[in-house]
């Protein structure tokens, strides 16, 4: 048996899964570096007005001042020793929160592709943008909560700022802290996967065809 025959797909379903894996893998290899270096900064700048509005609705000032390093200085309505307190969201954190965009694009570029790509693109951009803004709010409040309630801070979290304001209610503080970890860990990937599964159901069906058979 030749080496080619040994590694050749035995069924059409297996061939489809291999095509998906090849396209998705190549897409991620190409898209992720480009997104990390250029795309994320452009997307963050475009989404800053929307993010400002969402942060205002969640109880923050809605003020976002970009720094020379590419970070965001977010107004919080908190004070320390009577001085306004801003929270710095680093450039790397912004890039992490925006990873859903290249992940979703890589999934949708892999065959089988959606029948209406422009509709899928529009809905994906809308959902990913909303998830980014909500994740931003979760990240900021998830850091402010342990500042206001140091007893809730994890062992790895160093609290050096003590605002003048009273602590948040215990449940609200716990939700904020958990939301921060979700936003920074699984939210981008989970959102991209759900979008791909809902807007392109042929894709997941292709991957699980052999199991369901």
Contact 120/104 with Cβ under 8 angstroms? no
pLDDT higher than threshold 70 for residue 3? no
Is 100 a domain residue? yes
Are 28 and 36 in contact, with CB atoms under 8 Å apart? no
Entry pTM: 0.88
* Domain membership flag for residue 85: yes
Give mean pLDDT, residues 101-106. Answer: 95
Domain range holding 54? Answer: 11-212
Report pLDDT digits (tens) over 152-210: 766 556 566 788 999 888 899 999 999 999 999 999 999 999 999 999 998 888 777 54
2 located within any domain? no
The reported pLDDT for the residue numbered 153 is: 64
Task: Look at residues 130, 131, 107, 103 and name the one whose alpha carbon lies nearest to residue 117.
Answer: 107
- What domain count does the chain have? 1
Q: Is the residue at 75 inside a domain?
A: yes
The secondary structure of residue 87, as a DSSP letter, is E
Cis peptide before 6 (omega within 30 of 0): no
Domain contains 25? yes
Residue 66's pLDDT is 96
- In a domain, residue 1? The reply is no
């Amino acid at each position: 048996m030749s080496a080619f025959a040994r590694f050749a797909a035995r069924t059409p379903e297996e061939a489809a899964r291999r095509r998906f894996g090849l396209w998705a893998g190549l897409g991620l290899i190409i898209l992720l570096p480009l997104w990390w270096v250029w795309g994320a900064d452009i997307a963050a700048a475009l989404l800053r007005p929307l993010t400002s509005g969402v942060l205002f609705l969640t109880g923050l000032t809605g003020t976002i001042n970009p720094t020379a390093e590419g970070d965001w200085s977010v107004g919080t309505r908190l004070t320390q020793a009577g001085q306004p307190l801003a929270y710095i969201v680093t450039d790397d954190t912004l890039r992490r929160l925006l990873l859903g965009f290249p992940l979703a694009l890589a999934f949708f570029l892999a065959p089988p592709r959606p029948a209406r790509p422009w509709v899928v693109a529009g809905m994906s951009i809308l959902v990913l943008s909303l998830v980014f803004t909500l994740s931003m709010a979760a990240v900021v409040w998830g850091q402010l909560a342990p500042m206001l309630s140091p007893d809730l801070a994890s062992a790895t979290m160093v609290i050096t700022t003590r605002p003048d304001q009273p602590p948040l209610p215990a449940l609200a503080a716990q939700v904020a802290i958990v939301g921060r970890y979700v936003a920074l860990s699984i939210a981008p990937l989970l959102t991209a996967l759900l979008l791909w599964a809902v807007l392109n159901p042929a894709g997941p069906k292709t991957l699980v065809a052999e199991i369901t058979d």
